[in-house]
Amino acid sequence: MYYYEIAVFGTYTYDTFTYTYEEKLSPGQRVLIDFRNQQKLGVIISETDEKNYNVKEIELVVDYKPLIKNEHIKLIKNASKKFLVPISEMGKLIFPPASSDKIKIKIIPKSPLSNIEKPIFLNEYYRKFKTKKAANKALKKMIKENIVELNIHIKKELKKKRKVVILKKDIIEVLNEKISNSGIKVVNYINEKNNKIYENELYEQKIISRSSTALKTLIKKGIIEIIDEEEVNEEPFIVELTDKQKELKEKILKNKDEIDLLYGVTGSGKTEIFFEVMEEYLIKNKKIMIIIPEISLTPQFVSRIKKRFPAKNIGVYHSSINSSIRTKTWYDAVNGNIDIIIGTRSAVWIPLKDLGMIIIDEEHDQSLYQFDQISYDAVEIAYLRAKIEKIKLILSSATPTLREMKKAYKGEINLLELKERVFTEMPDIEVIDLKKEEKVSWIFTKKVLEEINKILKNNKKVLIFSPTKGYANYLICTNCGNVLKCDNCDVSYTYHRYENKLKCHYCGIEKKVPNSCPVCGNPELQLRGYGTERVVNELLKFFLSNKIIRMDREVIKTHEELNKAFEEIKKEGPAIIVGTKMITKGLDIEDIKLVVILDSDRYLNFPEYTSQEHTASLLIQVAGRSGRKEKGKVLLQTFKSESDFFKFVKEHNYDKIVELELKNREKYKYPPYSELLMIIFSNPKFETALKESEEFFNILKNKDLNVELLEPTEPLIPKLRGQYRYQIVIKGNIDHDEFYEIIKNYNKKMHIFLNPPTTLI
């Protein structure tokens, strides 16, 4: 018999557990086991010695060969220790989503002796037995006798073949043909779109109806042809690099497996540099992983990659894609069928075959840190992978984190800078003092509305950033001052006017607006603050005839809706785009000439040590959406126009903000000059959350840990999703091995966050 240490998925355990099997297995194989009388999936971490106590047998081997390598096992172990989270959950992250109705174990009969007539799913097979244990015993015997085999059934993605319409004749030639008005509309539309479009576009944009015969007529006359998308032979769209871009490309290639920080202003062509570097790796049959912070960036990023590398297989991986397609993408990546994988933070775990390089775009973004369930930082995971797998890592941003800037200044990573835009100058930033400037409404100053009007008249676009969605941030009683709060969370409801509802943006609960204050009965309730919905309503008073596009997670809930919104924005002509953080990340629309930032002080006033860094990054990133092809303008409304902070933002001087903020962090011993560990205990009972936090605090206090230890306190949101919460904050040089053992031995569930980008958890 052989003995194995197994990380058991979904058990929230810091230990591996020993199981035995009669055949030799390898680390990385997944197995089904009996864990505390429940059937669980796990992964073999290592082989171990024979034990002198009773050891349970592995019930079933799921993978006939390991799907992950020893390097990935090492990644699981190291990440578990680094982020102080259970190895059972880290092990689960590296595999695809294992939803029972999407990925299933299938039994394939190989001989009539099996008494199984046709392939069946494991769950169906279990129904023939009293217990799963008995079923697995019989199945194991049949596998050993080679009369059945197991396969992972992956639901196949039904790919609809898209038809492409190509204009074959020159527009001048077409004018000499006798064609209908509908035909002329089709030809003009295709001509505007560089002579090639998807057929569906003609119907979606109402150029013609589906019943129209215009396309058949145009095909007969040889004016157009319609072919399957797969038959289109695309030439790579290659942009000629500037001398500076070429210089940085050569440095990156020369640095080989070192870590590079590509620090360039918005619009400086960072993406084109790593496209050229990717080319060199792809020629050597190395695969590329690109991590982006937001799902909203995916459509335009995938479009650019496909244009640049039309012959390569590209995979997309993020949570908005259903689990069956993600599972297929995962297996394609592991089997070497994908050349370039693009995804959000969860994609950083994919064990892509022949991986040569990881690129993290917008590396400053907080979305790269996972807060839900198991916390980790995708950038730090990429660092671990680069070291363990000896691969290239490129970090790219116009506003790198202080952590990366400090590493670059110390020479731990390579700093590569781009200080100028490729096509145009940086936009002018004008700081508008809300204390002095004339206001037309309490959202907009007169100057802002005048500038918007000027841009729209010039047939260009305006981007307006509002920090929050909804109509009003909260509802308050004018008599007793009671703010209407969510019953599950200790936060105020946001009012949504269109639906006339109060919504909690933390737990998602909704309720009708009450007729009176629930505390004192006063019927006068007042709306305070504003979000995107109210901004749009206000704009309609002044720009009723103009197109206004709202982009936030209330109106855009699916990947398809996101794609449609981007298509709408790309259309030529004047428009106002109103959005939250969703629009600040990598949005590259050429004719956005003006950016307006409404509430610049909001994030700066947050009670946390990262507020200066994140506000600077946010404002500079939003400002960077303006004037991508010709010089643009940014209007920034604030009550603190005289502060040095806004002076540096106006000058696009992120370096100065970094310099001052690093001094503050060093002075007060905050990351990146120490580690910050936040541990949150939560429970439906207030007393239990407090008791567990105090118990654990006392355990830590009695250890010689050489760290700053803060007593349990309520976090900023003391109740969230029906759970009362208490937090312990630890600051200093943390001994991860020691803390791992302490947390493991305490053996009660807690939420652990190492160096989170925000302390407002």
Block means of pLDDT (10 residues each) for the chain, length 761 residues?
95 96 94 89 95 91 92 98 96 78 72 88 88 88 88 66 84 83 88 82 87 91 84 75 95 93 93 96 97 85 88 90 86 95 96 97 95 94 97 97 97 95 89 92 92 95 90 89 90 89 88 93 90 93 93 80 80 91 72 91 85 93 86 93 93 95 95 97 96 96 94 93 95 96 93 94 86
Of the CA atoms within 13 Å of residue 435, those in its CB half-sphere come to 5
In CATH terms, is domain 675-754 a member of 1.10.3470? no
| Kind plus residue range of the DSSP H or E element containing 686 | helix 686-701
Q: Nearest to residue 362, comparing CAs of 421, 274, 423? A: 274
- CA distances to 358, 363, 629, 741 from 7, rounded to whole Å, are 27, 31, 52, 16
Q: Which residue has the tokens 């349970």?
A: 56
| Kind plus residue range of the DSSP H or E element containing 741 | helix 736-746
Q: Nearest to residue 392, comparing CAs of 501, 211, 261? A: 261
Assess whether the region 163-231 and the region 675-754 belong to the same CATH fold: no
Dist CA 420 CA 467 (whole Å): 28
CATH architecture of 428-469+531-667: 3-Layer(aba) Sandwich (3.40)
Beta strands per DSSP E along 274-350: 287-291, 314-317, 340-343
In CATH terms, is domain 163-231 a member of 2.30.42? no
Beta strands per DSSP E along 501-581: 501-503, 510-512, 525-528, 548-551, 575-579
Dist CA 726 CA 691 (whole Å): 9
Contact 113, 98 (CB under 8 A): no
Annotated binding site for Zn(2+): 477, 480, 486, 489, 504, 507, 517, 520
Q: Nearest to residue 253, comparing CAs of 241, 265, 267? A: 241
- Domains of the chain, residue spans: 2-154, 163-231, 243-418, 428-469+531-667, 472-529, 675-754
Dist CA 39 CA 674 (whole Å): 42
Q: Nearest to residue 69, comparing CAs of 96, 33, 88, 44? A: 44
Dist CA 240 CA 419 (whole Å): 18
Annotated binding site: 477, 480, 486, 489, 504, 507, 517, 520
Looking at residue 156, what is its pLDDT?
Answer: 62
Does the global pTM surpass 0.85? yes
- Two structure tokens written together for 578: 């109103």
Looking at residue 64, what is its pLDDT?
Answer: 85
User: Domain spanning 243-418: which superfamily?
Assistant: P-loop containing nucleotide triphosphate hydrolases (3.40.50.300)
Using N-to-C axis directions, what is the helix angle for 378-389 and 70-83, rounded to 10°?
140
Dist CA 289 CA 292 (whole Å): 10
Dist CA 490 CA 224 (whole Å): 61
For 223-262, give one letter per residue: b (16+ CB within 10 A) or e. Answer: bbeeeeeeeeeeeeeeeebbebbeebbebbeeeeeebbbb
Looking at residue 102, what is its pLDDT?
Answer: 34
Angle at 20 between CA 19 and CA 22, to 5 degrees: 160
| Kind plus residue range of the DSSP H or E element containing 388 | helix 378-389
Q: Is 656 helix (H, G, I), strand (E, B) or coil?
A: helix
DSSP H helical ranges for 589-652:
611-623, 644-650
Nearby residues of 691 by Cβ (< 8 Å), 6 or more positions away: none
- Two structure tokens written together for 133: 């244990």
The domain defined by 2-154 folds into GIY-YIG endonuclease (3.40.1440)
Q: Which residue has the tokens 């003009």?
A: 188
Looking at residue 233, what is its pLDDT?
Answer: 62
